[in-house]
């Protein structure tokens, strides 16, 4: 394959779309240092900050999702879509990409549509067990669709689907060697089990309220908390840093060490989180967000629970949480089987497989 390739990668809105896109770009750069990579995101979304931090150029489209109720934003949607399609065509004319890759999020819709209209090969990386409307629509024209779950031929043409898994941070592949480093980094108490709580980069209100309501229970159970409460909630919850054995973080910059230190994990069930937790292989309780498109977090979590790899508690049933956790704390056999079963679902070479497919399409 030629060395000076031009690749457009479009994805964003949440970390779950951005980090896989960056992982794919990094692997392309390892193989083709001369490759030109241009990211396309949605203006005002977190990719406009995170992608340049990772060292890549990004252009923003004026696009947003459709709300479930009638809003001004919905009325503006047709204009935003036309504006974004026009700009996407302009970017393609100037950049001349060999391929366009979409990892989900608002901007990948118009970007991949424009690429399809101009005969440029497209590849979709679908992270969830239940795809959103945009990817279902784009899948009809894409050359390849890289997925992380089985049974997606209900949504996509079967001959285009390749099960690769979701790209994950490479520093998670060896966390079993970092346990002591993790415990030292977070200054944990060797006599207490560590519960890692993850609500996503912005935070999860219901999970934060649950943890706050159970602080006394954790103390009685001799548990220490590494609690990532998220950007939106840090001001509200940082006061609990004064408590012994409670650490509240807005964001965890060393996720590898947080995972390594943890004995148990409570987490949302976004696609990237689920893929990471399969590699991490620790006893996990998923509390899926019910407020996401197509309720895909519940479907992600249930696909792991079906293989006896995790416990799932619905947001509407959180009163069961203390009993579920206490039962798990006392059952060593259950802890071991959850760890083994979730670990068996891991697909650690996803990024390599996806870039292999990109290479085939370009050459």
Q: Which residues form the domain of 354?
A: 6-167+348-362
Residue 140 falls inside a structural domain: yes
Pair (143, 189) in one structural domain: no
What pLDDT score does 66 carry? 58
User: Which pLDDT does position 73 carry in this prediction?
Assistant: 63
Same domain assignment for residues 18 and 60? yes
Is residue 131 included in any domain, yes or no?
A: yes
Q: Beginning with the edge strand found earlier in the chain, give each strand of the sheet holding 284-286 in spatial order.
A: 246-249, 223-228, 193-198, 264-267, 284-286, 311-312
Over its C-alpha atoms, the chain yields an Rg (Å, rounded) of 21
Q: Is residue 221 in a domain?
A: yes
Which parts of the chain register pLDDT below 70? 1-3, 64-75, 77
- Which among 149, 85, 94 is positioned nearest to 112, based on CA atoms? 85
* Same domain as 318, residue 235: yes
Same domain, 300 and 355: no
Q: Based on the fold, state whether residues 72 and 177 are members of the same structural domain.
A: no
Asked if the structure places residue 227 within a domain, the reply is yes
Residue 224 lies in a domain: yes
62: in domain: yes
Domain shared by 178 and 324, yes or no: yes
Q: Is residue 1 part of a domain?
A: no
Domain identity same for 136 and 94 = yes
- Confidence at residue 90, expressed as pLDDT on a 0 to 100 scale: 96
| pLDDT given at position 72 | 66
The rounded Cα 27 to chain-centroid distance in angstroms is 18
Is residue 350 within 8 Å of residue 275, measured between CB atoms?
yes
Indicate whether 118 and 23 sit together in one domain: yes
* pLDDT tens for each residue of 206-223: 999 999 999 999 999 999
Q: Are 240 and 212 in contact (CB under 8 A)?
A: yes
**pLDDT value of position 38:** 97
* Residue 139 belongs to some domain of the structure: yes
Same domain, 317 and 353: no
* Count of structural domains, the chain: 2
Strand ranges inside 31-115, DSSP E: 36-42, 57-61, 99-104
* Integer Cα distance of 194 and 72 in angstroms: 46
Supply the CATH number for residue 297's domain: 3.40.50.2000
10 Å CB burial of residue 293 (0-12, 13-18, 19+) is middle
Asked whether residue 259 falls in the same domain as residue 204, the answer is yes
Are 203 and 259 contained in the same domain? yes
Q: Indicate whether 148 and 182 sit together in one domain.
A: no
Q: What is the pLDDT of residues 20-62, one digit of tens each?
A: 999 999 999 999 999 999 999 988 888 998 999 999 999 988 8
């Amino acid at each position: 394959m030629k060395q000076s390739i031009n690749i457009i990668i479009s994805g964003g809105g949440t970390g779950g779309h951005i980090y896989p896109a960056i992982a794919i770009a990094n692997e392309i750069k390892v193989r083709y240092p001369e490759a030109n990579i241009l990211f396309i995101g949605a203006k005002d979304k977190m990719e406009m900050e995170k992608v340049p931090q990772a060292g890549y150029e990004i252009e923003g489209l004026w696009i947003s999702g459709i709300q479930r109720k009638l809003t001004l934003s919905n009325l503006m949607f047709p204009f935003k879509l036309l504006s974004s399609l026009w700009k996407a065509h302009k970017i393609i004319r100037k950049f001349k990409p060999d391929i366009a890759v979409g990892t989900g999020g608002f901007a990948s819709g118009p970007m991949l549509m424009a690429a399809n209209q101009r005969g440029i090969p497209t590849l979709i990386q679908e992270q969830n067990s239940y795809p959103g409307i945009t990817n279902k629509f784009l899948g009809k024209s894409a050359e390849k669709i890289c997925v992380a779950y089985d049974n997606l031929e209900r949504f996509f043409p079967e001959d285009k689907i390749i099960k690769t898994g979701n790209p994950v941070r490479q520093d998670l592949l060896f966390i079993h060697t970092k346990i002591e480093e993790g415990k030292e980094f977070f200054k944990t108490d060797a006599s207490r089990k560590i519960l890692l709580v993850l609500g996503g980069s912005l935070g999860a209100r219901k999970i934060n309220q649950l943890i706050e309501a159970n602080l006394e229970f954790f103390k009685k159970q001799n548990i220490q908390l590494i609690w990532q409460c998220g950007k939106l909630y840090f001001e509200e919850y940082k006061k609990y840093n004064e408590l012994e054995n409670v650490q509240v973080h807005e964001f965890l910059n060393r996720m590898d060490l947080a995972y390594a230190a943890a004995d148990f994990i409570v987490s949302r069930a976004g696609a990237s989180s689920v893929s990471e937790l399969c590699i991490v292989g620790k006893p996990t309780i998923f509390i899926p967000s019910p407020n996401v498109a197509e309720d895909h977090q519940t479907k992600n979590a249930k696909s792991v629970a079906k293989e006896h790899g995790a416990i799932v508690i619905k947001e509407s049933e959180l009163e069961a949480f203390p009993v579920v956790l206490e039962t798990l704390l006392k059952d060593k056999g259950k802890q071991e089987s959850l760890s083994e079963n979730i670990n068996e679902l891991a697909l650690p070479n996803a990024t390599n497989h996806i870039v292999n497919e990109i290479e085939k399409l370009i050459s």
